[in-house]
Amino acid sequence: MGRTLKIAGVLLALLVIAAGVGWSMLRRPDIPYATLEQRYGDARSHYVDLPGGFHAHYRDQGNPKGPTLLLLHGFYVSLDTWDPWVQRLSKDFRIVTVDLPGHGLTRAPKGYKPNLESLVRFVEAFARAKQLDRFVLGGSSMGGDVAWRYALAHPERLKGLVLVGAAGWPDPRPGHREPTDFLKVMGNPALRFLLRDLDTSSQAREGMRATYFAPDRFVTDAMVTRYVELSRAPGHRDAFIDMAISFDHDFATPERLAALKTPTLILSGAQDQIVPPASAGRFASSIAGSRLILYPNTGHLAQEEAAGPTAERVHAFVMGLEPKKAPPPPHKDAATSRSPNSVVFY
């Protein structure tokens, strides 16, 4: 009996050692910001220090004399998601993109725990630092969630609001699991310690593929490597966990959005599997005068997957907000009315 117990003890010790070795092999250390800036920054990159200890990475591109668009990216990605719009709109517009805290090359103070309201405060601090006033604010996914909250908090700053696959409503699909659900289990401190620093390349690839209707056209090894490495910036992995946990409350309501008077354009991929098009419809029905456009064969990142059509709509929307000369009186037989909440299928 004693010999059997000794053998069992040895086997258990070997299993513990093997598990420890495997865990060590799967762990990925932080990557210093200096390394990431050299690897993923470029001539377009600028940085600004903000109150609270933030060192924000941003780009300010396009026509400095044109209307200003400030664009906010979604969860896990970075300001690079807006490159297709920058390429198409920079002739006429000044386009400012920024990495939100916990993402890209923006540095947050040690111990920072982001949530949606703190991100709204970050956007306001950034807008003040860059002296942005009377601009059009656009947001994709989580960035859209931040954008509509910003519009409620600071309507005096905005000319218009563009929501692209914007988050903010509870998901109505029974049993649906978000790509961030695996992060929520790390609300447990022990699990956070064990899992936070493990290699997430396969989960990242799976999550990225879920965001596109045609993932083979967009998800490349280089993209996965870029976003996984950016996620290993100091503090980013904890920020992702804290944000994923905080998303489960403080949702939009029709009553809350009724106060939003900013002209609003709502864009959604008809095959969005992350934020269902029904959410876009709820924004449209709750924001007076808004316009919703759905794009077929398009997933969650319509600014990438339907770059041309969405950029054209944004161009028309923004130009429509600019002051115009008084038009001639309409012909008495001309149609002069339109539904305040119109839906277009592109």
Same domain? 101 vs 116: yes
CA-based nearest residue to 70, from 115, 116, 128, 118: 128
The strand ranges marked E within the chain are 46-50, 54-62, 68-72, 94-98, 135-140, 158-164, 264-269, 291-295, 342-345
Residue 346 inside a domain? The answer is: no
The packing angle between helices 201-210 and 221-231, to 10°, is 120
Are 24 and 165 within one domain? Answer: no
73 and 2 within one domain: no
Same domain, 71 and 156: yes
Q: Do 22 and 43 belong together in one domain?
A: no
Q: Are residues 54 and 37 in the same domain?
A: yes
User: Does residue 131 lie in a domain region?
Assistant: yes
| Residue 227 CB contacts under 8 Å (≥ 6 apart), including other chains | 76, 77, 78, 204, 208
Q: Does one domain contain both 13 and 44?
A: no
Q: Are residues 12 and 79 in the same domain?
A: no
Q: What range defines the domain where residue 261 resides?
A: 33-169+177-322
What confidence score (pLDDT) does residue 196 get? Answer: 65
Contacts of 70 (CB under 8 A, 6+ apart): 96, 97, 98, 123, 127, 132, 135, 136, 137, 138
In a domain, 330, yes or no: no
Res 15: pLDDT: 40
57, 23: one domain? no
One domain, residues 216 and 304 = yes
pLDDT recorded at residue 337 = 31
Please, which residues bridge with residue 68 across strands? 94
Q: Is residue 294 part of a domain?
A: yes
Question: Using CA atoms, how far apart are residues 335 and 152, in angstroms rounded to an integer?
Answer: 33
Question: In total, how many domains does the chain have?
Answer: 2
In a domain, 269, yes or no: yes
Q: Can you give the pLDDT of all 346 residues of the chain as single tens digits?
A: 555 544 444 444 444 344 444 445 566 789 999 999 999 999 999 999 999 999 999 999 999 999 999 999 999 999 999 999 999 999 999 999 999 999 999 999 988 988 999 999 999 999 999 999 899 999 999 999 999 999 999 999 999 999 999 999 988 776 655 555 555 555 556 565 566 677 888 889 999 999 999 999 999 999 999 999 999 999 998 888 888 777 767 899 999 999 999 999 999 999 999 999 999 999 999 999 999 999 999 999 999 999 999 999 999 999 999 887 555 555 443 333 334 455 555 5
Looking at residue 73, which CATH number applies to its domain? Answer: 3.40.50.1820
Task: Specify the pLDDT at position 254.
Answer: 97
DSSP 315-332: HHHHHHHS--PPPPPPPT
Q: Tell me, yes or no, whether 205 lies in a domain.
A: yes
Q: Is 327 a domain residue?
A: no
Is 58 in the same domain as 124?
yes
What is the model's pLDDT at position 193?
A: 55
Residue 257 included in any domain: yes
pLDDT in tens, 33-65: 999 999 999 999 999 999 999 999 999 999 999
Asked whether residue 74 falls in the same domain as residue 195, the answer is yes
What pLDDT is attached to residue 111? Answer: 86
* Type of residue at 102: G
DSSP state of 263: -
